[in-house]
Amino acid sequence: MENLHQLLLERHSIRRYKDQPVSADDVRTILEAALLAPSSKSARPWQFVVVEDKATLTSLAGCKQFGAKPISSAAFAVVVTVDTTVSDVYVEDASVAATLMHLQAADLGIGSCWIQIRNRFAADGESSETVVREILDIPEQFSVECIVTFGYIDEERKPVDPSKLLWEKVHIGRW
């Protein structure tokens, strides 16, 4: 897409994917977007785990009670982890990287969805972070922020109508 604003109007969280792999070039471009993310003091505290294996995706989908279903049908997912010993604003650093992957995917015509992991729980009460950490052998000092799922779009979403934007949330000059 040539126009970022148009991309933002058309972007949606996509949770239904075609049963079709994403090309290695597109996977690489999405990861490049993550590695290009700005971070506080340029610490780049994130590390990403790319998961394509169906059985692993299915186990990851059980990491929380609600809202993790898209993981099981994704062509691949990127688990966004961040070193809590390197940055004091690691949540923000990880969030920027996840957002850039989401936007890069949209630009490539690939659907994606942010699946929240930090502060979420599995059906048995276990923390989602612990479940994901154990499945993927993620070291303790890395916080698992979210999993971003990717795949070719298998649902219809309409672009946002700009007249519906919440301009009342914008204050000019002072609150």
Ligand X SMILES: Cc1cc2nc3c(=O)[nH]c(=O)nc-3n(C[C@H](O)[C@H](O)[C@H](O)COP(=O)(O)O)c2cc1C
Q: Is 15 in the site for ligand X (CB under 6 A)?
A: yes
Interface residues for ligand X in 115-154 (CB under 6 A)?
Answer: 115-116
Q: Is 91 in the site for ligand X (CB under 6 A)?
A: no
Q: Is 12 in the site for ligand X (CB under 6 A)?
A: yes
DSSP letter string over the chain?
Answer: ---HHHHHHH------B-S-PPPHHHHHHHHHHHHT---GGG---EEEEEE--HHHHHHHHTTSSSS-THHHH-SEEEEEEEETTT-TTHHHHHHHHHHHHHHHHHHTTEEEEEEE-TT-B-TTS-BHHHHHHHHHT--TTEEEEEEEEEEEB-S--PPP-GGGS-GGG--SS--
Which residue, 49 or 103, has its beta carbon nearer to ligand X? 103
Which residue, 114 or 150, has its beta carbon nearer to ligand X? 114
Q: Is 44 in the site for ligand X (CB under 6 A)?
A: no
CB of 120 to ligand X, least distance (A): 7
**Interacting residue ranges for ligand X, rule: CB under 6 A:** 12-13, 15, 67, 70, 113-116
